[in-house]
Amino acid sequence: MKLSAKFLNNDELSPKVDYNHDLNFLGDESSFAFGVEVAKVEASKKFPQIYKFHIGDTGPKTPEPIIEVAVQALKDKQTKYAHFIGFPQVRENIAKYWTATRGVKIKKENILLEPGGKPAIELALQALVNKDDEIIVQNPSYPIYASLSSFYTHKKPLEWTAYQNPDDKTLEFNVADLEKILTENKNIKLLFLNTPQNPTGMMMGEEKLRQVAALAQKYRFMVVFDDIYDQITFDGRKHFSILSVPGMLDFTINLNGCSKNYAMTGWRLGFIVAPEWLIEIFGQLAVNKWSCVSRVYQIVAGTIFGDVDIDGFHYPSVREKIEPILQADLIEYEKKGKFVSEALDLLSPFILPNKPEGAFYIFPNIENILELKYVSDVLKIKNDKDFSRWLLQEKGIAMIPGSDFGSAGSGYLRLSYAEDREQHIIPGIKHLLLTILEIIEKSEINPPLSASQLDQDLKKIEEKYFL
């Protein structure tokens, strides 16, 4: 990204203050930038509705028992400064939960509360990385890893690029490719690893994570392990934490929080699990950055994992109350993911969806659509970015181009199926498939099925999962 410095040439501005040129290395998060475009199209009233598959927000609302804790804390006037790392009892509650679910002893000294999950990325870079150090990110991956890595090192991070299956175009990360990077480069300091993954919705299994852990200990680098979607898994899959590998607490900065699992994205409430010495450094940085996470939100975080007693007030755990709500949300995510995957598969091989494994994303390949005569010659669409823009501007369908998540995402789209099923997912997917069907026909190619057959098949899939 190259920042504009037009203001430097504006004689009406005084003084002409330059900006930090390191900002030219900084990227952004495409879903938020794309959301601005979506809002503009929506405001134009060009379409009765914009079908929103673009942003990774949660469909469900925050469970009511969590909201009630926040309301009560406010009524109790819990409005003063809080502990800069996090109240000891709150961190103890999180540590006990992490110990039980990860199978490794976690202490409160291993926990720091943060405003959202993202600060963990920057804290890791600020605490550990010098400009000569190398960082590895997955390709494709969440774009903020590469953005902040470039900002702090003034160079692109090394990329662990996914292997593309030539038959179904699904993507997979091979550990042998990671080891090749490690043997060819010195000064590897960090690996950013995300599972369940944004943007693909794929999961990395226990065997592969154990192999990565062995490499971390052999080559002595830290893993920033982002498992913010750890509870959103499908078909009986169980999330495996790299912390569960013996010795990996010393090599892991675990990014997690309440945003995705508990439908609390707007609360900006996250936490880090890391070695004690790093938590001390992160705490010093936290004081300089945000002072502390809100007292109310710390109380809320604590009650998600256990009872909290602060300043003479008792806040009982909401764990048992929210569990059935969370399970219902998880079932709904799984049904929507399977619906989207099976629906898109109706127009195979023009669109090739992967099977949803976790989070709430699917990453279908659209290379065969981009090669269609009508698309390339008439619409002048050259790539996934062009196609994404055309879908929004001409059809009212909002989806993120896969290349926004790295070069390995070229020829893909990222669909988030977190939104309401009746308002967005079911009608939006139907609108998308009819659009693709129209494109196929205008390219003078026999489509896989007719519009009427598509409608019938979609209804069957809808009944399969939602009735």
Q: How many CA atoms lie within 13 A of 301 on its CB side?
A: 33
- The C-alpha atoms of residue 391 and residue 385 are separated, in whole angstroms, by 10
Local confidence band at 422 (pLDDT 50, 70, 90 cut-offs):
very high
Residues comprising the chain, all counted: 467
**CA neighbours within 13 Å on the CB side: how many for 231?**
18
Residue 28 has pLDDT above 80, yes or no: no
The answer to whether residue 153 scores a pLDDT higher than 50 is: yes
- The average pLDDT across 112-140 equals 96
Q: Which helix (H) or strand (E) holds 149?
A: helix 143-153
- 21-60+324-466 shares its CATH topology with 64-320: no
List pLDDT tens digits, range 49-89. 999 999 888 889 999 999 999 999 999 999 999 999 999 99
Which CATH architecture fits 21-60+324-466?
Alpha-Beta Complex (3.90)
Q: Among 14-23, 101-110, 401-410, which is the least confidently predicted range?
A: 14-23
The tokens for 329 are: 């949300």
pLDDT at 22: 83
What does the pLDDT read at residue 55?
87
How is residue 171 annotated by DSSP?
E
Q: How far apart are CA 270 and CA 101, in angstroms?
A: 17
CATH architecture of 64-320: 3-Layer(aba) Sandwich (3.40)
Q: What is the mean pLDDT of residues 285-303?
A: 97
The whole-chain average pLDDT of the chain stands at 94
What is the reported pLDDT for 56? 85
Q: Is the separation of the CB atoms in 462 and 339 below 8 Å?
A: yes
Instruction: Please tell me the predicted confidence (pLDDT) of residue 319.
Output: 97
| Res 3 pLDDT > 60 | no
Q: Is the Cβ–Cβ distance between 99 and 314 less than 8 Å?
A: no
Structure confidence at residue 9 (pLDDT): 60
Range 43-54 average pLDDT: 96
Predicted local confidence at residue 1, as pLDDT: 45
Is the pLDDT at 4 greater than 60? The verdict is no
Number of H helices, E strands in the chain: 15, 16
Specify the pLDDT at position 441.
96
Checking if the pLDDT of 356 tops 80, the result is yes
pLDDT (tens digit per residue) in 313-340: 999 999 999 999 999 999 999 999 999 9
> Where do the structural domains in the chain lie, given as residue ranges?
21-60+324-466, 64-320
- Rounded to whole angstroms, the Cα distance separating 114 from 282 reads 10
Q: Assess whether the previous peptide bond of 196 is cis (omega < 30° from 0).
A: yes
- pLDDT, tens only, 342-351: 999 999 999 9
User: In this predicted structure, what is the pLDDT of residue 79?
Assistant: 97
What pTM did the predictor assign? 0.94
Q: What is the pLDDT of residue 12?
A: 67
What value does the mean pLDDT take over residues 153-159? 94
For tokens 């040439």, what's the residue?
Answer: 9
Separation in Å, CA 461 to CA 344, 408, 447: 11, 30, 19
